[in-house]
Structure 1
Amino acid sequence: MFTTHLRYSLSTLALGWLAASAYAAPADYFRIDVVDADTGRGVPLVELKTTSEVRYVTDSNGIVAIDDADLLGQKVYFAIKSHGYSYPKDQFGYSGQSFDVKAGGRGQIKIKRENVAERLYRITGAGIYRDSLLVGAPVPIKQPLLNGLVTGQDTVDGVPYAGKIFWLWGDTNKPSYPLGNFHTSAATSLPPGKGGLDPDKGVDLTYWVDSEGFSKKMIPMPGDKPVWMGGLFTMPDDKGKERLFGPYAQVESDSKTLEAGLSVFNDEKAIFEKVASYGTTLQPGGRPFRATVGGKLYLYFHAFLRTPADYAHVTDPTRYEAYTCLAPGAKYDGANTRLERDAAGKLVYGWKANTAGLEAGQERTLIDAKKMAPAEALQQFHDVETGALVDNRGGSVHWNSFKKKWVRITGQANGTTSHLGEIWYAEADTPTGPWAYARKVITHDNYTFYNVAQHPFFDQDNGRLIYFEGTYCTTYSGNKFNTPRYDYNQIMYRLSLDDSRLSLPVPVYKLKNGEYATADNLAAKGGWGAVASIPFFGVPKATNGLVPVYASGTSLKTTPVVGAQPLFYALPVEKGTDEKENADLMELSEANQKLGRVWRSRSEELPLDNVVAAK
């Protein structure tokens, strides 16, 4: 009798406490705002940990709401940690701050952004603005807690279509069971300025859902194997109607594809349907863009795979072309890959139908197997500060009007602080290169951030501000602590391309007549056909401490040339005291006069085409 009564009393007490906490008022919480010390904006994904190992993580407003009974009324120390952000250490080496935690109270923590890119908000998953709602703070999106019953979502793609932005994701988690949707999820949002949010604020997603309200299968196929999509693009079909297309792959695992092909969106049924099957040689994905070459419009699935931009070509994979050095008709086969060389032994690069291209990792395998020299590769990026090789993976390439360059945001395998969580920025004069130097813009501490995607439809101020996102997860990291709510979800970042750290060295071209040029003045000197070689790279814009270098006929000099602007800028001859060691720097001399230091050319290849970006 006593036991039953005690059980009843405890249950009643627990239910009462749960009911009370479920309807707690903002005044019942202690609020901590973690903000960027420079901008004052709230920083998402900041961990605050007590001395008893209780962890809190800021929501997308940078807010933590605390109502723990054991902490209220106490002075509490919070250790502060966040990927790519820092907080000063005290005399004992601890990074943290103490607060008198009390209901209705509020504290603030200012942290310094070390990343070049700015973390803005989480886009998918549960509890995006959970803590903000608990303390009564305003939130920008309509579904701040749970949208489409989605708790996790892998790998994004997005493209404007039918007056909206159409979004795709891969494997999708739900609250009710560990297995969710493995046949692709989708949603739409309204464009900024047309009913949609400014990308600075967020993305309001409207999911396609099933009868239970969960994000539905967008490409239903027989069997239980995952079906992944990506590479979305729009194009008129054979009847002239604008349609939405996307490559798909049904997979056994990350490395084994069972079936691949091209699909088209059925607007009435709100599902994707098969249009064409791909063979095993070319299976497009990537982040497509359009460009004109020689007056002909092409659809590029990525920088090294294209097809003429019309319905007949995109639905016929045998007419796809890869920019590659493989022998015609060949596929990648590790150290046994067949390469095409001319009579002099030089690799023959070109646009080849029904022939596989090479990914950066595959290039590295061929280099290690002595099948290819490093200078023959097209995608071997190097850290602009140290010269260290960047094992780049994935990412996306788009034309940027502000830089007047093709801009690439790419991931890195085998990074220094994470296996697959370091993100780099690079730029080139054409989609195929020359890709040489990159700057790290995001770092993670033993956490993964992969499959990053630029969103050029969000570009602002003529491309000065660009937005991109990626999947944040523990996969491949070895990290056993999954960040609650954030893990396996998409996080948005912004880059300001006028940041001086993103002024990367550009190719300085040696022309066939002996003169020098950069892409900015190459058209006046005969265009790409006039280029003989790329002897080195120089900085394109003036920065404190750099040496202006002028072109005068076939000579280079540091003394001003009447009526001329500097062609490029070089580092001073003498190394700076805080400058990192960089084996890629070389001394530039002219007539026994030292002009400065420039960056070595990484490639002997000239993957140059007069490529003009198109909408």
Structure 2
Amino acid sequence: MTTRLRICLGMVLVILATCPTIGWSQPPRREVPITEIRFLDSETGEGIPLIEAISVNSLRWVSDNAGRIAIQEPGWDGQERFFQLRTHGYEIPKDGFGIAGIRVTLKATTPAIVKLRRVNLAERLCRLTGEGLWRDSWMLGYPVPRIDPQPRGLVAGQDSIQTALYRGKIRWFWGDTSRLSYPLGLFRMAGAVSDPPGDSVDLRNGIDYQVFTDTNGFARAMMPLPERPEGVIWLDGYVVVPDAEGKDVLIAHYSRRKGLAEELEHGIARYADATDRFEVIQTRPLTDTWRVPHGHPIIHEIDGKKWLYCGNGGLNVRVPATLSAILDASQYQAFRREGNQWSWQSKQPPTQSADDLAALKAGTLSDSAAYYAPRDVENPDQRIQLHHGSVRWNPARKRFVMVITQIMGKPSMLGEIWYSESDQPNGPFRHAIRILTHDRQTFYNPCHHDFLDRDGGQVIHFEGTYTSDFSGNPEKTARYDYNQMLYRLDLRSKRMASLLQRMDKVTDPKQ
């Protein structure tokens, strides 16, 4: 090597060693302060999940389960910023120009507190599934109920909850389940177990799921059915009943299908305790659509005999609550109307909400004979077409309470949730109270978890699927879309108690 070459090489090495932007050295990380906005319910003082804050330059954040958003933008600490707000069921303040949003000064040392008035009767508690439940609170250094490097079961989103209390555990089952590692996820039911929460457990912290997973850590199929790989598998109608020997068994209706439209097969599946998976025990003809457990069933006793009541827009199908009866199609009864007369019969399918509404419109059904077309308590001229929901006995009201989605509602086609009551599980449900509304987003398949009730049923909890699907809205809410949201409804709250009194009066004028 020549002297000149040695000198040139030495100069290059000196430059590489002294200049941090050249060569292989890592530039120093710049510390950017994290600022906080926290949204609080003005009535309860608790954090509000699912508040979207959008800056003037179109940056977007969504509040976590504690109602916090963490903002880490260079130069924003100590500066005033305006945010447009989007949410569901809360009033957004407007300025003198009619612009809806907030103007706050961001400080790394002090959170900006924003209180919002709730319009919904039900209070949004938390998101139960998916990733980043308390992301922003954790980034800001607050203690959080749970923070893992990965979400439970590596789940990004989960659809349509079903539950069963079986062998001392709550069994949780979800439909289609998405993951972060690939666009396609699990389409043969996911599952988890948890201990029944005591009254002292704060449900704002969510549920401590123990998810069934594969060896790769992702949620595994609860009904694999590997010998029939075509199609997705959905289960519903989970119920615990005695078998021929009096032993409790967990069963459900299963449907293997090509998406929403075409069904390939359906029947009854039984939970195998040894494998924690469902197995087919009976297939049913595709033409026999209602003689299976479906929806969110309950067990109801009449004159010493236990019946399984099930249905989607109301509990309008029943069968004796034993495994042998459930497997015998001839023992199913449907609640059906002929003219203005209702009866349990076994030949024809049940009357649905759409049937009642059509008959009312045609003038062939009297108002007092309608079971599944409740009037809005606040707007009696409006009737609600029932979609899917649940019916549970409520010891505080001493009635069966229905929590259900309206189909073809406004402002959301499938996101308006109603509360109704009846003395019998199959109705009539004559009046209803809107407890939840959504702005062009969907909230479907709500389920009232009576095992989470508080104060003797004065406080109830329900969850459902939040998504942009079927809403006509192309915007998906980051982290929240296609996940389960938990709500609380306090029947003693001033507004709810007043509406319940109005419902009692129109249902029974003597009250």
TM range (shorter): 0.7 to 0.9
**Distance between the aligned counterparts of 2:149 and 2:439, measured in 1?**
27
User: 8 Å contact 1:29–1:105 — kept in the other structure?
Assistant: no
Is 1:383 aligned with 2:376?
yes
Partner of 1:503: 500
2:281 to 251, 272, 275: 275
Secondary structure at the counterpart of residue 217 of structure 1: coil
**Distance between the aligned counterparts of 1:143 and 1:457, measured in 2?**
27
2:132 to 121, 127, 133: 127
Is 1:64 aligned with 2:69?
yes
- Which string of whole-angstrom CA distances, capped at 9 and with x for unpartnered residues, describes residues 360-391 of structure 1? 13443565677766665420111111121212
Shift, 1:163, TM fit: 1.5
Secondary structure at the counterpart of residue 455 of structure 2: coil
Is 1:483 aligned with 2:495?
no
Partner of 1:250: 256
Shift, 1:31, TM fit: 1.4
Shift, 1:347, TM fit: 4.8
Q: Assess, with a 3 A threshold, how the Cα gap between structure 1 residues 152 and 133 changes in structure 2: closer, same or farther.
A: same
**Distance between the aligned counterparts of 2:330 and 2:484, measured in 1?**
34
Shift, 1:403, TM fit: 0.6
Partner of 2:350: 357
Q: Assess, with a 3 A threshold, how the Cα gap between structure 1 residues 268 and 11 changes in structure 2: closer, same or farther.
A: farther
**Distance between the aligned counterparts of 1:64 and 1:49, measured in 2?**
11
Q: Assess, with a 3 A threshold, how the Cα gap between structure 1 residues 206 and 99 changes in structure 2: closer, same or farther.
A: same
Amino acid aligned to 2:185? G
Amino acid aligned to 1:299? L
Shift, 1:28, TM fit: 3.4
Partner of 2:5: none
Secondary structure at the counterpart of residue 117 of structure 2: strand
Partner of 2:269: 263
Q: TM-score, normalised by structure 2?
A: 0.88
1:169 to 170, 174, 179: 174
Q: Assess, with a 3 A threshold, how the Cα gap between structure 1 residues 287 and 142 changes in structure 2: closer, same or farther.
A: farther
Partner of 2:6: none
Structure 1: runs of 5+ lacking an equivalent: 326-339, 341-345, 509-535, 540-566, 569-615
**Distance between the aligned counterparts of 1:493 and 1:10, measured in 2?**
55
User: 8 Å contact 1:321–1:353 — kept in the other structure?
Assistant: yes
User: 8 Å contact 1:261–1:274 — kept in the other structure?
Assistant: yes
1:50 to 44, 47, 55: 55
Partner of 1:234: 240
Secondary structure at the counterpart of residue 275 of structure 1: strand
Shift, 1:260, TM fit: 1.3
Higher mean alpha-carbon deviation, 498-507 vs 410-419, is at: 498-507
Is 1:430 aligned with 2:424?
yes
Shift, 1:240, TM fit: 2.9
RMSD of Structure 2 on Structure 1 (CA): 2.6
Partner of 2:402: 408
Q: Assess, with a 3 A threshold, how the Cα gap between structure 1 residues 176 and 105 changes in structure 2: closer, same or farther.
A: same
Q: Assess, with a 3 A threshold, how the Cα gap between structure 1 residues 501 and 138 changes in structure 2: closer, same or farther.
A: farther
Shift, 1:264, TM fit: 1.0
User: 8 Å contact 1:154–1:489 — kept in the other structure?
Assistant: yes
- Which string of whole-angstrom CA distances, capped at 9 and with x for unpartnered residues, describes residues 515-553 of structure 1? xxxxxxxxxxxxxxxxxxxxx6346xxxxxxxxxxxxxx
Shift, 1:96, TM fit: 2.5
Is 1:307 aligned with 2:287?
no
Structure 2: runs of 5+ lacking an equivalent: 1-11
**Distance between the aligned counterparts of 2:278 and 2:124, measured in 1?**
33
**Distance between the aligned counterparts of 1:367 and 1:480, measured in 2?**
35
User: 8 Å contact 1:129–1:144 — kept in the other structure?
Assistant: no
Shift, 1:197, TM fit: 4.0
**Distance between the aligned counterparts of 1:213 and 1:41, measured in 2?**
34
**Distance between the aligned counterparts of 2:424 and 2:489, measured in 1?**
21
